[in-house]
Amino acid sequence: MKFSNTLTQAISLLSLGLAVEGSGINIQRDDACHPHRPFRPMPPSHPRVKTCHVENHGNGVDDSKNILQALHQCNNGGKVVFDEGKTYTIGTALDMTFLKNVDIEILGTIQFTNDTNYWQANAFKQIYQNATTFFQLGGEDVNVYGGGTIDGNGQVWYDLYAQNPLILRPILMGIIGLKGGTIGPLKLRYSPQWYHFVANSSDVLFDGLDISGFSTSKNTAKNTDGWDLYRSNNIVIQNSVINNGDDCVSFKPNSTEILVQNLHCNGSHGISVGSLGQYLGEVDIVKNVLVYNISMFNASDGARIKVWPGVSSAMSIDLQGGGGLGSVSNITYDTMYIENVDYAIEVTQCYGQSNLTLCNEYPSNMTISDIHFNNFHGTTSKKYEPLVGSIVCSSPNVCSDIYATNIDVESPEGTNEFACTNVDKSTLAIDCV
């Protein structure tokens, strides 16, 4: 069975989920979170009493000043509208962390310029993995919706990255320091790197995102994660379609109380905890995460937990690490359909380290405990058959209480074996080899 890539049809096939209407006016946001509610109630929005329409120049002229003017004018109780049928160009890095009690209704198209020299020099530098963002959106009680399009003009970046993997590619949506808000419905296209970086934020609902953007050249659109969460809590991601080339959702350091549900992921690296333990001396914690009702197609992984070993390792020329401290605990993956996925479940404490002997000699400093994989079904790809999954810890001292129940997954040839190392097999209702 192949699902359609359109948001409406895919969500219909998921047969779950109530979309947020997106008015931002007196919405009790946790009422829209079904079938599971967030770890704590979302704060309601305050009334919006004024409206500002953003004027655009057209013909690719930078509209950044007009955008800031409208945001300042309608901040503290208003709605800023990007009109239907218009294309707005952003050629300036925008700091929008001053927002409070404001809606942003995107009916038209917002596109970032392809001036790679400008953006490498001026995009906002975040503090994790050399991440940069086109803009910073933050503040309190901010809703962004409308069903319009935000376009990162990513093709020039895909081609440039193929020449130089050390360039700084901006992230399309920088949600930085947002306390209370909703994002979606929106269409997100052609991000140069991750689609969302959510940092130092809390009580935010993402609902009805339609994410897509593949390269039209021989150069792949790489590292196009759907969401990367960092130092954030009580985040809900739901009712969305993601067609990308890396993690569908990734829980980076200090992501807590996260609910992810009703997603259609295609072409990704799965729903991932990590990577964690990358930076020596830092403490990474991911806990209290529920991932529910995911459809995963043509991916490297379904459910994935990835932490760095206790020794320096190199994943790639632009991604190295290992030796960090911390823990992963109370993580549940419940109900996942997979099709043409390499591993239905993968747990690794040797991320970035190809020398398993060295990894076992220097086991990860990250502990993994209280992990639950429930109700998986579908078919893997041929890549690792007869294996359909891998639960491999670098030491039995750093992995405990990992459970797997009702895992009805087979390889194309009908096998259902898992690689299991340094883990208590008595809690795993799977065929460990």
- Active-site amino acid positions: 269
> Is 141 within 8 Å of 177 (Cβ atoms)?
no
| Cis amide bond preceding 386, omega within 30 | yes
Q: Which residues of 331-343 are buried (b: 16+ CB within 10 A; e: fewer)?
A: bbbbbbbbbbbbb
* DSSP code, position 46: P
Q: d(Cα 15, Cα 132) in Å, to the nearest integer?
A: 36
> Is 398 within 8 Å of 363 (Cβ atoms)?
yes
Q: d(Cα 260, Cα 236) in Å, to the nearest integer?
A: 6
Residue 48 tokens read as 């919006």
Q: Any residues with CB less than 8 A from the CB of 164 and at least 6 apart, and which? A: none
Q: d(Cα 303, Cα 249) in Å, to the nearest integer?
A: 10
Q: d(Cα 1, Cα 301) in Å, to the nearest integer?
A: 18
* DSSP code, position 428: B
Residue 222 tokens read as 């790489």
End-to-end Cα distance, the chain: 30
> Is 6 within 8 Å of 241 (Cβ atoms)?
yes
> 335: alpha, beta or left, given left = phi > 0 and alpha = psi -120 to 50?
left
> Is 142 within 8 Å of 176 (Cβ atoms)?
no
Q: d(Cα 195, Cα 189) in Å, to the nearest integer?
A: 8
> Is 86 within 8 Å of 110 (Cβ atoms)?
no
Q: Which of 38, 29, 74, 39 is nearest to 54 (CA)?
A: 74
User: For residue 69, what are the CA distances in angstroms to 66, 135, 136?
Assistant: 5, 15, 16
> Largest alpha-carbon pair distance within the chain?
65
